[in-house]
A and B are shown apart, each in its own frame.
Chain A
């Protein structure tokens, strides 16, 4: 699916405490393109993904998905469009008592009827499909477990397996590997990208790990304070650009640690060779 933002502004919150989270964003993605969104916490990465998923309505500007303007569509058509977009929120909210098999198969709800969804709860119909999706993330042995028996990293991968069973041509992932160790994170990201390529799906991923973003994506979009700070090929993103994006502390800390506290706990698998090159 191709996507186009033209001067899109998004406000969150109601009336008095409404604040502008995305400010006049203009951006275009071709069908099948893969991009990473980076930027400091609170820059609006999650809001950008939710706007793309038609979960938040912009206050002004025009969002076009596949040459259609979602918010002018009839309600049913809009919801049908949502079914063709897959959004995995950061730390996927899975009901604690749900079994992994159902949590994964929930990814294809928009393409089956409510009746077969009900029957599948009684006797999982496509357990093989869920098994294959989980196997891509080395979780196949968890198929029949309850979600509350999983660790945070396993839960995150269940969310990714859910993406595998959806047939969405537009995939939006919010921090998909934030709870995974560097090696697992890299392999999970590869799996996601292979799947997107195989489906010819447009892939938009927000990442805290700048090195990972640079290593795996050809195009990086830097978001800062609700505006697009840069939109460059990965090769053109250098230390000066990043220091400008994350602020002065980043440049100082760059040699020793990651710009972000969460990422700092997990040194990137790419950090060693990349750091020598970049910093």
Chain B
């Protein structure tokens, strides 16, 4: 090999080659562990079952009594999501306030946060991690056991998980904004709450509202899933219809669900547009 060829050799090439094969190996291992065999979908038995299920979708159920039930369940789903997100918001904002470093008063002067506030702050972050690391489905199962079937379980499940997520994101939003307006008020003797209300909040409000609306959209989808474990709303009805193999009802509910998500999307877009 000539000297020139050596000089032209890309020093990063081996590394790149290695990481590509590593990625391929990891994905193969994952597919093996999950027994990913999509061709079983095309088996004679699978195809027959799918065909039967799809055939039962038609005609979609459309009697007045059933449609009324759908309207009520949809409304319940929206209510569960809204109530859950509202509860989450009420808890998440104070937790984020406690955990935010930019609102620290002990930091003024030396730039270092004092020990006790640091412990409180980290403990609060820990609480937020625990809250959001347990999926709402698990909370849902837990609450259905504890307080029985119904919407309340759904509201609590969403409130707990979403409180963790929203608290964490609010915290990041507040810490990433320009801290000077907050600092100025703290230096002039404002309390943490006051500095939040008059400097941090006006700077962060659009982002926080936008994220809350996005979460509300997610909560609507979540509350449908929670319905399957007995936490009320559209999901619970869908679960019942599936058990009864009433495909016509399932397809009507799916249509209602798509419409609901679409409406949520439109509403959240409108709300975000209002902020500018």
Tell me the bound Cα distance from A75 to B108 in angstroms: 11
* Contacting residues of chain B (179-220) with chain A, CB-CB under 8 angstroms: 180-181, 183-191, 193-195, 197-199, 202-203, 205-206
Q: Decide yes or no whether A179 CB sits under 8 A from chain B.
A: no
Please indicate the chain B residues that have their CB under 8 angstroms from the CB of A84 in the complex: 189
Query: Within 8 Å of chain B (Cβ to Cβ): is A247?
Result: no
Shortest beta-carbon distance from A145 to chain B in Å: 14
Residues of chain B within 8 A (CB-CB) of A168 are: 188
Q: Is the CB of A89 within 8 A of B109?
A: no
Q: Report the nearest B residue to A117, measured CB to CB.
A: B194
Smallest CB–CB gap between B109 and chain A, Å?
4
The residues in B between 80 and 113 inclusive whose CB is less than 8 angstroms from any CB of A are 105-106, 108-111
Q: Per DSSP, are chain A's interface residues mostly helix, strand or loop, or mixed?
A: mixed
A-B contact count (CB 8 A): 91
Given A71-B109, A121-B197, answer yes or no on A53-B178 (Cβ-Cβ < 8 Å).
no
Q: Are A110 and B189 in contact (CB under 8 A)?
A: yes
Interface pair B202/A93, CB less than 8 Å apart: no
The answer, among A14, A82, A98, A109, for a CB contact under 8 Å with B194, is A109
Q: In the complex, which residues of chain A have a beta carbon less than 8 angstroms from the beta carbon of B189?
A: 79-85, 109-110
Contact residues on A (Cβ < 8 Å of other chain), bracket: 35 or more
> How far is A168 from B188 in the complex, measured between Cα atoms in Å?
9
Q: How far is the CA of A172 from the CA of B42 in the complex (A)?
A: 78
With A110-B188, A114-B191 as contacts: A56 and B109 at CB distance below 8 Å = yes
Q: Which residues of B contact A40 (CB under 8 A)?
A: none
Give the chain B neighbours of A55 by CB distance below 8 A.
Answer: 108-109, 183, 187
Q: A96-B203, A97-B202 are in contact. Are A117 and B188 (CB under 8 A)?
A: no
Within the assembled complex, what's the spacing in Å between the Cα atoms of A55 and B189?
A: 10
Name the prevailing secondary structure of the B interface residues: helix
Once the chains bind, are B187 and A97 in contact (CB under 8 Å)?
no
Asked if A95 contacts B203 (CB within 8 A), the reply is yes
Which among B106, B110, B185, B188 has the highest number of chain A CB atoms within 10 Å? Answer: B188
**Which of A92, A95, A168: most chain B Cβ within 10 A?**
A95
From the candidates A93, A106, A121, name the one contacting B190 in the complex (CB within 8 A).
Answer: A106
A57 CB contact (under 8 Å) in B109, B180, B202: B109
**B185 and A75: CB pair below 8 A?**
no
Residue from the list A86, A93, A103, A121 in contact with B188, Cβ < 8 A: A86
Query: How near does chain A come to B204, taking the closest CB pair, in angstroms?
Result: 9
Closest CB in chain B relative to A4 CB, distance in Å: 19
Task: Compute how far the CA of A79 lies from the CA of B188 in the bound complex, rounded to whole angstroms.
Answer: 8
Which residues in B have their C-beta under 8 angstroms from that of A50?
A: 187
Whether, in the assembled complex, A107 has its beta carbon less than 8 Å from a beta carbon of chain B, the answer is yes
Residue of A nearest to B181 (CB): A93
Whether B188 contacts A82 by the Cβ 8 Å rule is: yes
A84 to chain B, nearest CB (A): 7
A118 interfacial by beta-carbon distance below 8 Å:
yes
A31 within 8 A of B: no
Chain A: minimal CB distance from B113 (Å): 12
- Pick the contact of A109: B110, B178, B180, B198 (CB < 8 A): B198
Select one of B106, B193, B206 contacting A75, CB under 8 A: B106
Q: Is the CB of B110 within 8 A of A114?
A: no
* Minimum distance in angstroms from B22 CB to a CB of chain A: 38
- Nearest chain A CB to B202 CB, angstrom units: 4
Give min CB distance, B102 to chain A, whole Å: 13
Q: Which of B108, B181, B186, B197 contacts A118 (CB 8 A)?
A: B197
Chain B residue with Cβ nearest A88: B184
Q: Evaluate contact between A79 and B181: CB separation under 8 angstroms.
A: no
- Is A54 engaged at the interface, CB distance under 8 Å to the other chain? yes
Q: A93-B180, A117-B197 are in contact. Are A53 and B203 (CB under 8 A)?
A: no
Within 8 A of B (CB), among A76-132: 79-87, 89, 92-98, 102-103, 106-107, 109-110, 114, 117-118, 121
Which residue of chain A is the closest to B178 with respect to CB atoms? A93
**A9 located at the interface, meaning its Cβ lies under 8 Å from any Cβ of chain B in the complex:** no
Pair B109/A106 contact, Cβ less than 8 Å: no
Residues in B with CB closer than 8 Å to A14 are 111
* Residue numbers in B under 8 Å from A75 (CB-CB): 105-106
Within 8 A of A (CB), among B138-191: 178, 180-181, 183-191
The 4 A-B pairs with the shortest beta carbon distances in the complex, nearest first, are A83-B189, A110-B189, A95-B202, A57-B109
Between-chain CB contacts (< 8 Å), 30 pairs: A53-B187, A54-B108, A55-B108, A57-B109, A75-B105, A75-B106, A79-B105, A79-B191, A82-B108, A82-B187, A82-B188, A83-B189, A85-B189, A86-B188, A89-B180, A93-B181, A93-B184, A94-B181, A95-B202, A96-B203, A97-B206, A106-B185, A106-B199, A109-B191, A109-B194, A109-B195, A110-B189, A114-B191, A114-B193, A114-B194
Q: A97-B202, A97-B206, A109-B188 are in contact. List 16 more A-B contacts (CB 8 A).
A: A54-B109, A55-B187, A56-B109, A57-B109, A75-B106, A82-B186, A89-B180, A89-B184, A95-B199, A95-B202, A95-B203, A96-B203, A98-B198, A110-B190, A118-B193, A166-B188
